[in-house]
Chains A and B, each alone.
Chain A
Amino acid sequence: AQSVSQHNHHVILSEAASLELGCNYSYGGTVNLFWYVQYPGQHLQLLLKYFSGDPLVKGIKGFEAEFIKSKFSFNLRKPSVQWSDTAEYFCAVGGTGGYNKLIFGAGTRLAVHP
């Protein structure tokens, strides 16, 4: 079955701490991978995406993610978080051929304390 697993449901960090949010997926075939972020009171918006090429992708606000095909993982990282990074983060995976729906993980709530 197709699925996305986000290992951490809640993460609490102090400002300047490093962040890594785990994402593993189960999906037959080649995939497109996404991280979305939902800031309090705002739209769900794209943080970064991987379609092909360099498995290390950089997104907005200093975030990056690495696609490791052998581990079926697409972990999100940021070397130094800020209070403004407080949000809910969603990993999503979709297929590459024809139309394939996106499968979302359950989300990780990040709280950054000043």
Chain B
Amino acid sequence: DGGITQSPKYLFRKEGQNVTLSCEQNLNHDAMYWYRQDPGQGLRLIYYSQIVNDFQKGDIAEGYSVSREKKESFPLTVTSAQKNPTAFYLCASSIGQETQYFGPGTRLLVL
């Protein structure tokens, strides 16, 4: 089955801790994205990557970091600098500007 997988489904972060969210796709898509979803605010773009070894900041990149060492993988690290990390995180991929396909999401909670 082709698709996007995200893990874990739920993630708990302690104060001052960095956590990494996984996103893997087997759709052979060049572009990958990370969004944050908060109630009543829709989806906001954190980072995106058009090709391997290249990525750009989105609208709300502060407190987050990414890497794109492989075409299939685009992990997101939520650093201790992100003061309000509790949210639902969605990963997506696409071929250029075609339709973005989304993963099931990771819900991050702060202990």
Contacts from A to B (Cβ < 8 Å): 4, 6, 9, 32, 34, 36, 42-46, 49, 90, 92, 94-96, 99-102, 104-107
Say which size band chain B's interface belongs to: 20 to 34
* Chain B residues within 8 Å of A99, by CB: 31, 48, 50, 96-97
Are B99 and A46 touching (Cβ within 8 A)? yes
A44 engages B90 (CB within 8 Å): yes
Is the Cβ of B45 less than 8 Å from the Cβ of A102? yes
- Which single member of A32, A94, A100, A104 contacts B43 (CB below 8 Å)? A104
Contact B42 A101 (CB under 8 A): no
CA distance A92 to B45 in the complex (A): 12
The reply to whether B102 and A101 form a contact with Cβ atoms under 8 Å apart is no
Task: Classify the secondary structure of B's interface with A.
Answer: strand
Question: Of B50, B99, B103, which contacts A34 at CB under 8 A?
Answer: B99
> What 10 pairs between A and B have smallest CB-CB spacing?
A44-B102, A104-B42, A104-B43, A106-B42, A107-B42, A101-B45, A46-B99, A43-B102, A43-B104, A105-B42
Q: How far is the CB of B7 from chain A (nearest CB, A)?
A: 14
A9, B104: Cα distance in complex, Å: 23
Cα(A30)–Cα(B50), bound, Å: 21
Q: Enumerate chain A residues within 8 angstroms of B105, measured Cβ to Cβ.
A: 43
A43, A94, A99: most-surrounded residue (chain B CB, <10 A): A43
Cβ contact of B97, chosen from A42, A94, A107, cutoff 8 A? A94
Return chain A residues, CB-CB under 8 Å to B100.
Answer: 102
